[in-house]
Amino acid sequence: MAYFHFLAAWSNQDIVQIKKIISHDIKATFINNECEEIVMDYDGLIDLLQQRFESDQEWDFEVIYNAQKSESSIVVVEITRENNRHELIEDKALCTLFFRKGAQFNNLVRLDMVMGIKHTI
């Protein structure tokens, strides 16, 4: 359950643990509110997370889908974050995480995120 450890580290804003889980070969793709695609490598993703972790906030993750494929796992998560007054900081994001078995544990090898989700059915 690599995704559980990854989301726990993210929730705790534990960048040291996150660095252990994310593969150095990761491809991270973000679709912003203007439908522009932003592609990041390991360093770009770590920098982005460190910037996000500068604020005191609460992350909420709802796992929508979880599946195994050979030695890989795919997880779809809805992400929100709130300030200390429990107000939404930004619209929801929908994220697909791909983990592959590594030498010591499963590593996050791909992350695809669509930001700015307003409504869910």
Task: Report pLDDT digits (tens) over 11-23.
Answer: 999 999 999 999 9
Residue 28 in contact with residue 111, Cβ under 8 Å?
yes
Residue 77 in contact with residue 97, Cβ under 8 Å?
yes
pLDDT at 83: 75
Q: Which one of 22-31, 78-87, 97-106 scores highest in mean pLDDT?
A: 22-31
> What is the Cα–Cα distance from 114 to 46, expressed in whole angstroms?
18
Residue 86 CB coordination number (10 Å):
7
Structure tokens at 16: 């040291």
DSSP class of 76 = E
Q: Which residue has the tokens 């300030």?
A: 83
With a pLDDT cut of 90, the percent of the chain lying above it is: 68
pLDDT over threshold 80, residue 44? yes
Identify the weakest region by mean pLDDT among 42-46, 60-64, 89-93.
89-93
Task: Report pLDDT digits (tens) over 64-75.
Answer: 999 998 889 999
The hierarchical CATH code for the domain 2-117 is 3.10.450.50
Q: What is the average pLDDT value for the chain, to the nearest integer?
A: 91
Strand 106-117 vs strand 22-31: parallel, antiparallel, or unpaired?
parallel
Task: Report pLDDT digits (tens) over 21-39.
Answer: 999 999 999 999 899 999 9
pLDDT over threshold 70, residue 106? yes
Q: Cβ-count burial of 95 within 10 angstroms (0-12 exposed, 13-18 middle, 19+ buried)?
A: buried
To 5 degrees, how large is the angle CA 104–CA 93–CA 72? 25
